Amino acid sequence: MARIGLLGGTFNPPHIGHLVCAQQAWSQLGLDRVLLLPVHTPPHKEAVDDPGADVRVALCEAAVAGDERLGVSRAEAGVPGRSFTVDTLNRLHDARPEDQLTFIVGGDMAASLPQWREPRAILELCTIGAAARDGVGRDEVLERLDRELPGASDRIRFFDMPRIDISSTLIRRRIAAGEPVRYLVPDAVAASIEREGLYR
């Protein structure tokens, strides 16, 4: 049995904010490993300048290389089309039913859980690990969840996340403008982007 954290996203490209989030969850939630979970096709938004799921998976693998606490799962990237969290969790649970899964999200996303597809099934399959800044909004999140999805707050665990104002959109914009992105993304990711001529 392993305690596995799942950090989903487009990762277009992965940056240090993603890795800090994964590390904080690993450290504070007592996880054995955190897996980056790149989507194949984002369910709610278009992936701008998307080099393709395989390339984004490779960038994630480069980002976590050498860190045994972190890994990459193809559970979503390997399934063409839009994938929903409940489907992904079912696939992972079927493959390794003994693992304890924690799905890592931002605090705002945790508050929107009642609007997700099959939220009760999600809570049966995993715990929600919610990133919070300085304890901000925790009570509001829990109150909203218990109002809209009674009992859900029992399946939420918060962890502290420092504010890091970096986004994949910012990275892509800087690359397109010919500006450096070193220290905003892991060196191996910067090298891959340069080598493959991505986001130009």
Domains, the chain, with CATH or none:
3-166 (3.40.50.620)
Q: Would you list the DSSP string of 174-185?
A: HHHTT---BTTB
| Rounded Cα–Cα distance for residues 119 and 152 (Å) | 9
CA 198 from centre of chain: 21
Report the amino acid identity of residue 33. R
Length of the chain: 200
The answer to whether 61 touches 86, Cβ cutoff 8 Å, is no
Kindly tell me if the per-residue pLDDT of 134 is higher than 70: no
56: confidence class by pLDDT, cuts 50, 70, 90: very high
pLDDT of residue 135: 60
The stretches of 34-137 forming alpha helices (DSSP H) are 53-64, 85-95, 107-111, 119-125
Name the percent of the chain lying above pLDDT 90.
84
Reported pTM: 0.94
pLDDT by residue (tens digit) across 69-87?
Answer: 999 999 999 998 888 999 9
| Rounded Cα–Cα distance for residues 145 and 156 (Å) | 10
Structure tokens at 45: 């938004």
Kindly tell me if the per-residue pLDDT of 7 is higher than 80: yes
Report the amino acid identity of residue 27. S
